[in-house]
A = this chain, B = another copy of it.
Amino acid sequence: MVNYPHQIRKKIIRTNSDPRQKRVNFANRGMSFETAINDSNGYYLAHGIAVIHKKPTPIQIVKVDYPRRSRAKIVEAYFRQASTTDYSGVFKGYYIDFEAKETRQKTAMPMKNFHAHQIEHMEQVVGQGGICFVLLHFSTLKETYLLPAVALISFYQIDQGSKSMPIAYIREHGYEIEIGGFPSLPYLTIVEKILLGGDSVEQNNH
């Protein structure tokens, strides 16, 4: 079993002598936050660790043309607001469900990122014993946190007037995802260690 946060932090310090680049992460590799998540899900899938996919974007289709000798062409459609979260899947039999949000702000995550429908969905998932959380990326700080849905729901319910969730709250109730190895964003390590209380998935050899 790996003493995960300290080990990774040491590795970062060791491999980066330039203090301006203390934090190596997916952004340094030219990867967006969403790409890093998808990349990690691809890694988990390829290694038989978990089956987690991003759901397709919900679209309201209004008009479809059927040109001769070619496939159906959608010619009028609109983006719909998602009523659930973006990612879901299965990890060791457990249902995994999460949403990912990023901000350039340094001190807080704007709450407009979370819609009432999504919060309600998270409550329902938690009620069914699903493992539900949000991945919060602070791009300027190069910090990414896993915040359990219960902490987000509590904040939402208690501070409904709040326009943003302070990073102090996220640091207190969430877990920083230490970055620098593979996969790009090893969020299941936290799920397994903290939420399931097991060993690190990083050490699995499939």
Contacts and interface: CB of A to CB of B under 8 A. Distances in A.
Residue of A50, A71, A75 with most partner-chain B CB within 10 A? A75
Contact of A79 (B58, B71, B121): B71
A112 interface: no
Nearest to A49: B128
Residue of A59, A90, A94 most packed against chain B (CB within 10 A): A90
A43 interface: no
Counting chain A residues whose Cβ lies within 8 A of the other chain, the interface size class is: 35 or more
A55 interface: yes
B84 A74 contact: no
A100 interface: no
Contacts of A76: 73-75
Contact of A74 (B74, B121, B125): B74
Contacts of A97: 90
B79 A48 contact: no
Given A73-B76, A74-B74, A128 B50 contact: yes
